[in-house]
Structure 1
């Protein structure tokens, strides 16, 4: 049942139980101290009375001692001579034998004893404090008795402590309830705000809190998450719109070509139509392949980890590619990274495809190390990209000006795929300054020795 309670009730109950336990331990520690203090006070009070009576007895001759009428708070007093005969007593002990015969006084002539007897009304244990006093060349004893303080001190003390513990615990629980309620109020506001946010209204944010604390950090984190969510949703919307457009274009082209040929089937150039259809299919297949690759990368599909020499990777890819623009190689041997060889090959191929489409005559491929990391650069001598558009080229299906527009089978996803592969390997892919054309720079951690 406790697990089904609200957080406020659970915290309040924990505070109440903790307070009860704390106060109980405090009472258990303090009660013996109070008991000892009261016992000491009562004992010294009896000693003071016995000492005063002893001084009076010492001044009065034995034959003149009269019945003692106690005006002291201690009402149990006995005066015993050297023969053990009670010579005088307080009213409650008149006619009683000595309650104690202990005469082992120390250097201070004082005796301390505990006597349990039934001869006193109520029948209880008494603390006896006696003083030895000289009377006519003998020594008499004057005893004063006070009740032994019980361990619980008194019923009134127990009742007072119980009421105090319950009252203080109730106050603590109430304050805890108010504090938790006030502390959780921002959480309720955050919950209400989040419940009203929908996929069509991602611009709303959780209001910041007036105090800089953990809940304000929670609100800030929630807003950061909503920012990322809004950005991701907007990116997916643009991606879906661009993907649908790019997929529809080759399909529309193929449909148009077939419909034109079907209008005049006898006059149609079917081999030419087939070639056109194959071209559109190739473009459609390239787009679908790139979309599947991006989907795997977005899903975080793990790659195969192995040591890859970037110089050897570049050599193998350049040997495989069909002849095209002149490629200048500036390769440093022994620059090894840990990663998926097929994905790194795909990254390099996409950069080379991009450079092949936009280079005038020459492509420069560089492999080197920088700051303890591996660096691979692909640079073309084309028109280049304006600095304010360098981040846009990595967006999916991004279209720039006509000087760097997609053509010759480009899907507009190659650079996005290259960036995702670089990020998956713990590296970066950036477009940096160059004297001519565009210079793509891959930086990736080197393999540990």
Structure 2
């Protein structure tokens, strides 16, 4: 049931119960202290009355039974001689025998005790303060009795404490609920703003908060998430537009070639048309294959985790490739990384394809190690890449003008796929400075020995 309550209600109930228990414990702990203080007051009142009567007895010892003057606080007094006879008493105790027969006192001739009796109507237990007074050759004792304070002090005290506990608990619950309502108000604003954001209106952001606190951190985190979402959506839209454009190009070419051949079927060179169609199909197939590869990488499809020797990987890939530009090798043996051999082969193939398209005459492939990283470099002696364009080449369907002029058949997905593979292996793929041409550097964590 509690799990279905709102945060406001749960906090209010929690505050009410916790404060109720807390204040009740405080009341229980304070009651003995209050009892001790009130008992001390009672004792002092009784002692003061006993001293007053003792001074009068010492000045003039009574020779017969007569009442003593009571006070408003102490109206139970007795003067008892050394034979245990009551010589004086307050009006309420006239005719009563001694309520206590203990005459032992301390060095100060004072007796402090408690006595319970049913002789006095309306009284159960009494605090007793007695003083021994010398009368001639004898000693008399003056006793002052005052009702003892019960453990609960009084019914009015109990009712007052209970009412105070309930009132304070209710106030605490109200304050807690009000505080939670005010604290959660920004959350409501954030929820309202997020509910109004749609795929066509990703530029909106939740309002910032005036105070730097946890909710302000939440608002800034939400805005950062919306920034990433907007960037991702824009990237996906751009990717979809570029993919549509690159897919439409070979399809348009194929359609134009077929329509041209069908206009004059008897005069058409069908073998040449078929070759042209196969070229367009090859390009279309390459684009679709690259799109599928990117989809798997974006989905985080796991790859194999095997030990891969980078030098051997380079040699095997070069042995499979058809002859092309001259390749120089600078391979350090025994540089082993952990990864998927097929994906790493695809990464290397894409880098070699890119170098093959842009190199003038020579491609250089180097394998080395840096600390805990395996390093693979592919360099060409072409025109190179301007520093401000080095990140753009890794965007999907992005081909620089020089690339488009030199190779209109590229898909524009080779380098993005290579970087995605590097990232999936916990590594990096960057374009770094070189004396001539472009220098692609792959770094992947080495296999721990």
TM-score range, shorter chain: over 0.9
Number of the residue aligned with 2:77? 77
Distance (Å, rounded) in 2 between the aligned partners of 1:312 and 1:50: 112
Q: After superposition, where does 1:422-441 map in structure 2 within 5 Å?
A: 422-441=422-441
Number of the residue aligned with 1:276? 276
| Cα pair distance change 1:332/1:247, threshold 3 Å | same
Distance (Å, rounded) in 1 between the aligned partners of 2:26 and 2:255: 89
Number of the residue aligned with 1:111? 111
Q: Deviations over 1:322-356 (max 9, x none)?
A: 11101111111122211111111111110110000
Q: Deviations over 1:65-119 (max 9, x none)?
A: 7421213521111111111111111111111011111122232222222211122
Distance (Å, rounded) in 1 between the aligned partners of 2:64 and 2:372: 114
Distance (Å, rounded) in 2 between the aligned partners of 1:406 and 1:175: 74
1:404: how far off?
Answer: 5.1
Secondary structure in structure 2 of the residue aligned to 1:62: coil
What TM-score do you get using the length of structure 1 for normalisation? Answer: 0.96
Q: Deviations over 1:331-388 (max 9, x none)?
A: 1112221111111111111011000011110011111122432211111111111111
| Cα pair distance change 1:417/1:409, threshold 3 Å | same
Q: Which moved more, 1:276-285 or 1:62-71?
A: 62-71
Tell me whether 1:385 sits opposite 2:385 in the alignment: yes
Secondary structure in structure 1 of the residue aligned to 2:16: helix
| Cα pair distance change 1:108/1:319, threshold 3 Å | same
Number of the residue aligned with 1:16? 16
Instruction: Please tell me whether the aligned partners of residues 379 and 437 of structure 1 are also in contact (alpha carbons under 8 angstroms).
Output: yes
Q: After superposition, where does 1:121-160 map in structure 2 within 5 Å?
A: 121-160=121-160
Number of the residue aligned with 1:445? 445
Secondary structure in structure 2 of the residue aligned to 1:115: strand
Secondary structure in structure 2 of the residue aligned to 1:63: coil
Number of the residue aligned with 1:356? 356
Q: Deviations over 1:403-438 (max 9, x none)?
A: 455726421101010111111111111111111111
Instruction: Please tell me whether the aligned partners of residues 358 and 404 of structure 1 are also in contact (alpha carbons under 8 angstroms).
Output: no
| Cα pair distance change 1:384/1:284, threshold 3 Å | same
Instruction: Please tell me whether the aligned partners of residues 62 and 135 of structure 1 are also in contact (alpha carbons under 8 angstroms).
Output: no
Give me the CA root mean square deviation: 1.6
Instruction: Please tell me whether the aligned partners of residues 208 and 219 of structure 1 are also in contact (alpha carbons under 8 angstroms).
Output: yes
Instruction: Please tell me whether the aligned partners of residues 80 and 141 of structure 1 are also in contact (alpha carbons under 8 angstroms).
Output: yes
Secondary structure in structure 1 of the residue aligned to 2:237: helix
1:221: how far off?
Answer: 0.6
Point out where structure 2 has 5 or more consecutive residues left out of the alignment: none
Distance (Å, rounded) in 2 between the aligned partners of 1:146 and 1:336: 97
Distance (Å, rounded) in 2 between the aligned partners of 1:250 and 1:74: 116
Number of the residue aligned with 2:253? 253
Number of the residue aligned with 1:293? 293
Number of the residue aligned with 1:209? 209
Number of the residue aligned with 1:227? 227
| Cα pair distance change 1:51/1:37, threshold 3 Å | same
Secondary structure in structure 2 of the residue aligned to 1:69: coil
What TM-score do you get using the length of structure 2 for normalisation? Answer: 0.96
Distance (Å, rounded) in 1 between the aligned partners of 2:238 and 2:58: 114
Aligned pairs, number: 449
Point out where structure 1 has 5 or more consecutive residues left out of the alignment: none
